[in-house]
Amino acid sequence: MPHIVEVPCVQALAPSLLAGYDWALNPYRGCALDCLYCYAPDVVGIGRSTWGETVFVKRSIPTVLAKEVRKKRRGVVGISTVTDGYQPAEKRLEITRRCLEVLARARWPVSVLTKCPLVTRDLDLLTTIPAAEVGFSIATGDDRERRLWEASCPPIGARIEALRAVAGAGVRAYVFAGPLYPESQESSVRILARLSAEAGAAELIADSLHPRAGALERVLEATTPQPRREWHERGEALMLALEDECREVGLPFARAQNWKPRASSGNGGDDHLVAARAAEEQAPVLEQPREVARLAAPFAQAFPVDARLHEFD
Ligand code: SF4
């Protein structure tokens, strides 16, 4: 189990440059899932050698968020743009859930990306959020391949069942197949396409492996892939197989670099914002400070303070 360290939060919503998101929200810095290819250590400035050992928790982020949704421009909030907001610590701490409570009450659109079935715990909230969606990060349909690259992550079957539950609850669910492992077989990604379609995914977005320095060394040490010069070729072969199988099963497919927010009439191409605008007039105004205090209360005794560090983002 990783060491949990509490850090203060000075900003909950950070402007996002990612397609489809206006804001990024990351309740945790650090991630116990410790995927081989993870680039997040470089993004948040944590040493790669200690990644996975310590998870920094922004204890006050729901309180800060409750203030920010009153002041900032309403837009799509991407949850887990850097580290997984449903990693194991969330089961006990429920900080991502408290953030969702704030966003649901303020009726802000939300897009979650995760590898963890724990997100289904929050379907009661997600089903009340306009244009909510949940993406499941799944790179292969073969758990033997998954174990090598994402040893601490939930098995593929658990993620597919979680996707099924999300879609079944009426919340848009999609699969982010990335990064595709150069070692994967074409048959494995074809299975992924079929599993995704059968479970009710609305879309599959795929990306190749782009290891940064640090992650690259880990990948090379821990796997026995083809020589690196063949990675691009393998990635392209997997991408084509995935695209072909998606076509076979009628699942919309996009490469990550080409993906665009879903088109809709009259809003310049973003369903999230249509729904957000429609919801805006009904949005309740949080009563300050009583409402903020109520939302923050569960955190006061949630866990002891190990340390207080300066907020990174
Ligand atoms: S789940 Fe995401 S943030 Fe966590 S280690 Fe894996 S890639 Fe990194």
281-313 tens-digit pLDDT: 333 333 333 333 333 333 333 332 222 222 233
Instruction: Answer whether 115 contacts ligand 1 (Cβ < 6 A).
Output: yes
pLDDT for 280 beyond 70: no
Q: What is the pLDDT of residues 23-62, one digit of tens each?
A: 999 999 999 998 999 988 888 888 777 888 899 999 999 9
Please count the other Cβ atoms lying within 10 Å of the Cβ belonging to residue 151. Answer: 12
Instruction: Look at residue 89 and tell me whether its pLDDT is greater than 80.
Output: yes
Question: Is the beta carbon of 243 within 6 A of some atom in ligand 1?
Answer: no
Whether 90 lines ligand 1, by a CB cut-off of 6 Å, is no
Mutate to test the pocket of ligand 1, among 50, 80, 84 (most ligand atoms within 8 A of CB): 84
Assess whether the C-beta atom of 207 lies below 6 angstroms from ligand 1.
no
Quickly tell me which residue has 């200690």 as its tokens. 50
Q: What is the mean pLDDT of residues 221-247?
A: 88
pLDDT band at residue 225 using 50, 70 and 90 as cut-offs? low
- Does residue 79 contact residue 251 with C-beta atoms inside 8 Å? no
| Highest mean pLDDT of the ranges 1-5, 181-185, 287-291 | 181-185
Hey, which of 29, 54, 83, 212 would you mutate to test ligand 1's pocket, going by the most ligand atoms within 8 Å of its Cβ?
A: 83
Atom number of ligand 1 nearest to Cα 83: 3
Mean pLDDT, range 119-135, rounded to an integer: 96
pLDDT of residue 43: 80
- The residue that leads in pLDDT, 297 or 239, is 239
Cα of 307 vs centre of ligand 1, distance in Å, is 23
Instruction: Report the separation in Å between the CA atom of 33 and the middle of ligand 1, taken as the mean of its atom positions.
Output: 6
CATH dotted code for 3-258: 3.80.30.30
